[in-house]
Structure 1
């Protein structure tokens, strides 16, 4: 990777982790609103939101680790 290809810390608008996190929050918001309008129980909504947050969190942590390993090389 060239220096331009490595996203600098603080350059969030080009960060995959930023966009995945933002997308995950958007999905959580939409899912919550839709399921509330469909009268789905709060417990079920909580489980779905927790699952989405877990997947997004795992991705962000994994990419952070991969980015850290790439910088070491």
Structure 2
């Protein structure tokens, strides 16, 4: 059985955004979605994959803020 299907409101809550953001992801086809009649649902696995693909790891190198003194 496939994973749970989330509504737009549930996706927005998990991402900590308004409902407009998940709707835009669907409109731009940046996330996998399922149409159930007129309803749009996003699989939990697709949301996890989207989050994983857009996670940025910190840069571990030390960066100097200012140049060296003369």
State the TM-score bracket (shorter-chain normalisation).
Answer: 0.3 to 0.5
What TM-score, normalized to structure 2? 0.32
What TM-score, normalized to structure 1? 0.31
Q: Which has the higher strand share?
A: 2
Q: Which has the higher helix share?
A: 1
Higher relative contact order (CA 8 A, sep 6+): 1
Larger Rg: 2
